Structure 1
Amino acid sequence: MAHAHTEDHFDICIIGSGSGNSIVDERFDDRSIALVDRGVGEDLWFGGTCLNVGCIPTKMMVVPATMAAAPEHARRLGVDLHLDGVDLGALQQRVFGRTDGISRAGLAWRESNRNVTVLREAAAFVDEHTLQVGHRTITADQFVIAAGSRPRALAAAGLDDPDLAGMIHTSETILRVRQLPDRLVVVGGGVEAIEFGHIFASLGSRVTLVNRSDRLLRRIDGEIAARATQLAAEHFAVRLNQRLSSVEPAERGGLLLRFVDPSDTEYRYNTDALLVVTGRVPNGDQLAVDRAGVDVDEAGFVVVDEHQRTSREHIWALGDVCDHHLLKHVANAQARVVQHNLLHPDEPIARPAEPVPQAIFGQPPVLTVGATEEALREAGTEYVKVVQPYDTVAYGWALDDRTSFVKLLVDPATRLLLGAGVIGPEAPELGQLLVAAMSFGIDVGTMARGQYWAHPELAEVVENALLAAAAECEGAR
């Protein structure tokens, strides 16, 4: 039953227009809803990070970038391809012509909903039922915090110099550059650094990726991360163990960047553009969630239970603001949980259990899921390990692939996967087979022998890895 409300009081207030926006459908027609969203990126786009400045535009750029990088691979196969050029404006029009249109249409649709009030200004809690939105103060019976995350700011002299701003980028601005930078320095060593490095190197920039630690992709399995680092270094320059200390204008235009290593040796790079992608931070602090009595963890993420409820019974949270995975598919799953629990408070459901896969769209792509070998070793968990190279199957020969592999970590007692990873062409698609096996509790032998594998598909490398793991488990008994 809808509550009587004034124009400043709502049944539900949702903060964030990414996955949070997907909660409201016709089942909420009898409730008054405030959708609060300042927007993301330079133009404060509606619709959240993934649509406007994240997964979707980056993957729409990865596809042409991978095509642009094809001549090198083709040469190994005896095919002479050459790249005549890249029309950056046409690529951007294809990407943003679509995403900007979806953003505008999404906002117009929400504003047309009779029971939804869209508020497009910055917000902060005043207390557990009150939110300051721009100059307006609103109250609500229930809140959903779906405010996402933002690029992590880096402390280095000159980074915030307004005269250099046009040459210094985050993930929110780099894809809309007017022209392709001749030289690009990428600071960071995570997923974004790998993906943007691939995009810009393939499109024609001279990319140098500089990372403060000794390897890229530190959060994933070490063996896969090491191979990804090795292959990235064949695609563009990779410099490890260097930390950005200062940014200043270069004498002949562009930027002069200074880095230092652990022994305080200084390194200098001249570049036309700098991209800082050193991770993301949750936006709970900007909302002053502490004033609502909402607990956060040491890293600033809002703490939630399995029902996505915060420390305040009437306040829910989902996505990057509360989840360390920082993944869109996790945010979407959690939005479905919050939606159900708002509609059926007496029959709450819990968010889906692990495993949560992550796909990385570099050159080559990667998929990882479940435990890393390091974590299993540290926990003293018994495991069987299989590393199956692509070149052990016919389609691997067809690709002339000598670097890609499937890695499985298996419990020898139950024969269930504890963790898995794939690095190589089609890794996200091949890896999803392993996600399915883990999610549905299918042991490696059943997964391998319980179905036909279409010969000579690339997925036979997964089949062979599963068969090898089953044999290893047998041997471990």
Structure 2
Amino acid sequence: MNSYDVAIIGSGPGGYVAAIRCAQLGMKTAIIEKYATLGGTCLNVGCIPSKALLDSSHHYEDAVKHFEEHGIDIPGEIKVNLKQMIDRKQSVVDQTTGGIDFLMKKNNIDVYQGLGSFKDATHILIKGDKEEEIEAKNTIIATGSKPSSLPFINIDKERIITSTEALKLKEIPKHLIVIGGGVIGLELGQVYKRLGAEVSVVEYMDRIIPTMDSGLSKELNKVLKKQKFSINASHKVKSVERKGDEVIVKADNKKGEEVEFKGDYCLVSVGRRPYTDGLNAEAAGVKLNDRGQVEVNEHLQTSASNIYAIGDVVKGAMLAHKAEEEGVFVAEILAGQKPHIDYNLIPGVVYTWPEVASVGKTEEQLKDTGVDYKVGQFPMRALGRSRASMDLDGFVKILADKSTDEILGVHMIGARAADMIAEAVVAMEYRASAEDVSRMSHAHPTFTEAIKEAALAATDDRALHV
């Protein structure tokens, strides 16, 4: 039987990063993955393939709608080759997951393919092509999450689908009904909207992206409606029925009236649930809470002292980069170091176009906790860079403490917001004031000038270009 200092169950961003950091710190490390490829949901059927399709569909939309204005004439009809688009997406996935294979070899990490389950707190059974058993002094649970559904929905993976199936459709839907106005539903909805589908979003809450600052929600709602999305907030779905190639969704609106949506595909994107199926956690003395999450303390240690858990399977935002931070955190704790994670400074991003990004506190959170704050906001359309690229929608908003000027939250919607948010994270990590950021030189013309201008706006209303 092979023995290890640490074994990681699950090879998503949290798991494989934890394995690499453990190996870097001198631990003999094993990683266990039940699927044939490493990388988990994110690399195989999540972050990476969805961004590949978002980029491909964005190119198509630009060619159809904007090339002529840029002085680019394309003779003949511009057509979508969906098969090639899906094939390219898969090649990106294959390259990325292959990269993880390389990193495992480079760091001398033993990879086991099969379902890992606890025999006890220090022994793990692996059921794959053959059954194996390994011994691990410490274990990190990184088994991730799966798409959630509603109890009355029968997901047939043909017409009533999850994000996994939406990444490999063989035709462009005529009318895609999206249940859930969160990140996944809006991103995949935009992919198929660009390619020619009619898209109806049905959201239970009173606004889309309901966990983000309401100003972002309001602006994205306006932009998506301009893109001809049908946004139906405050709608409680009560039935989803398939009749041949037609899907019928019935929901009650906020007045209690029944509304019916008919389409040829229905994407169910109502969140994700922690995945511990087959883990046999109880055999190791690992407790789960009533939401199916693995219970952990502030060191991400479970009720079994030598077992830790990270990523989507524990509390907190279900984000790949949050899982990565936790993977490094646990590895460094096992090595006797004293790492830290500030969960308030883990950014959230929606990769629609315009992109949406956020870090820190929202206005609603500051109001609820009674914090006296000030706001600086700057519209993207006032930037020379935005006019040059025809990306005029959106804004940057900075929330700062009214007395100390410390930045408490940054919320942005616009071109390249997903990349720009890192500046806000750095500033807040070092507890910068709005004035600190306003005094930094930002290259011109760039989208990031909006951050400087929003900081100026928060500092005695000093924005220069509005």
SS in 2 for 1:195: helix
Deviation, 1:446, is: 1.9
Deviation, 1:184, is: 1.3
The correspondence for 1:103, drawn from 97, 100, 119, is 97
What residue number does 2:141 align with?
145
The CA distance in 2 between the partners of 1:36 and 1:80, in whole Å, is 50
What residue number does 2:16 align with?
21
- 2:404 counterpart letter in structure 1: T
Cα distance change, pair 333–30 in 1 and its aligned pair in 2 (3 A): closer
- 1:84 counterpart letter in structure 2: I
SS in 1 for 2:41: helix
Question: For residues 150-189 of structure 1, what are the structure 2 equivalents within 5 Å?
Answer: 150-157=146-153, 159-160=154-155, 164-189=156-181
Q: Deviations over 1:133-169 (max 9, x none)?
A: 4365554321110111111122225x14xxx442221
The correspondence for 1:390, drawn from 377, 380, 384, is 380
What residue number does 2:293 align with?
301
- 2:166 counterpart letter in structure 1: I
Deviation, 1:261, is: 3.1
SS in 2 for 1:67: helix
Cα distance change, pair 99–396 in 1 and its aligned pair in 2 (3 A): closer
- 1:469 counterpart letter in structure 2: A
TM-score (norm 2): 0.87
SS in 2 for 1:331: helix
Question: For residues 236-275 of structure 1, what are the structure 2 equivalents within 5 Å?
Answer: 236-250=229-243, 253-262=245-254, 264-275=256-267
Are 1:38 and 2:34 counterparts?
Answer: yes
Deviation, 1:290, is: 4.1
The CA distance in 1 between the partners of 2:140 and 2:358, in whole Å, is 30
Are 1:465 and 2:454 counterparts?
Answer: yes
Any conservation in 2 of the 1:307–1:350 contact (CA below 8 Å)? no
Unaligned runs of 5+ in 1: 1-5
Deviation, 1:110, is: 5.1
Deviation, 1:407, is: 0.7
Deviation, 1:58, is: 0.8
Deviation, 1:111, is: 8.3
The correspondence for 2:201, drawn from 194, 209, 216, is 209
Deviation, 1:71, is: 6.1
Any conservation in 1 of the 2:415–2:447 contact (CA below 8 Å)? no
Any conservation in 1 of the 2:208–2:217 contact (CA below 8 Å)? yes
Question: For residues 68-79 of structure 1, what are the structure 2 equivalents within 5 Å?
Answer: 68-70=60-62, 74=66
Deviation, 1:101, is: 4.4
Any conservation in 1 of the 2:286–2:304 contact (CA below 8 Å)? yes
- Percent identity, aligned pairs only, is 28
Any conservation in 1 of the 2:374–2:402 contact (CA below 8 Å)? yes
Q: Deviations over 1:346-365 (max 9, x none)?
A: x3433356411112111211
SS in 1 for 2:86: helix
Cα distance change, pair 97–393 in 1 and its aligned pair in 2 (3 A): closer
SS in 2 for 1:219: coil
The CA distance in 1 between the partners of 2:103 and 2:217, in whole Å, is 43
What residue number does 1:196 align with?
188
What residue number does 1:128 align with?
121
What residue number does 1:12 align with?
6
Cα distance change, pair 249–328 in 1 and its aligned pair in 2 (3 A): closer
Deviation, 1:200, is: 0.9
What residue number does 2:81 align with?
87
SS in 1 for 2:250: strand
- 1:281 counterpart letter in structure 2: R
- 1:309 counterpart letter in structure 2: Q
- 2:325 counterpart letter in structure 1: A
The CA distance in 2 between the partners of 1:364 and 1:35, in whole Å, is 38
The CA distance in 2 between the partners of 1:427 and 1:206, in whole Å, is 26
Cα distance change, pair 78–250 in 1 and its aligned pair in 2 (3 A): same
What residue number does 1:3 align with?
none
The CA distance in 1 between the partners of 2:390 and 2:110, in whole Å, is 56
Which moves more between the two structures, 130-139 or 301-310? 130-139
TM-score (norm 1): 0.85
Total equivalences in the alignment: 454
Cα distance change, pair 151–468 in 1 and its aligned pair in 2 (3 A): same
Q: Deviations over 1:278-312 (max 9, x none)?
A: 11111246524344333444533323344332232
What residue number does 1:456 align with?
445
CA-based RMSD: 3.0
Deviation, 1:390, is: 1.7
Q: Deviations over 1:248-274 (max 9, x none)?
A: 3336x3323333335553332222221
SS in 2 for 1:70: helix
The CA distance in 2 between the partners of 1:56 and 1:262, in whole Å, is 36
The CA distance in 2 between the partners of 1:353 and 1:210, in whole Å, is 30
Which moves more between the two structures, 70-79 or 361-370? 70-79
The CA distance in 2 between the partners of 1:31 and 1:400, in whole Å, is 51
What residue number does 1:409 align with?
399
Q: Deviations over 1:83-103 (max 9, x none)?
A: 712111111221212313443
The CA distance in 2 between the partners of 1:24 and 1:54, in whole Å, is 21
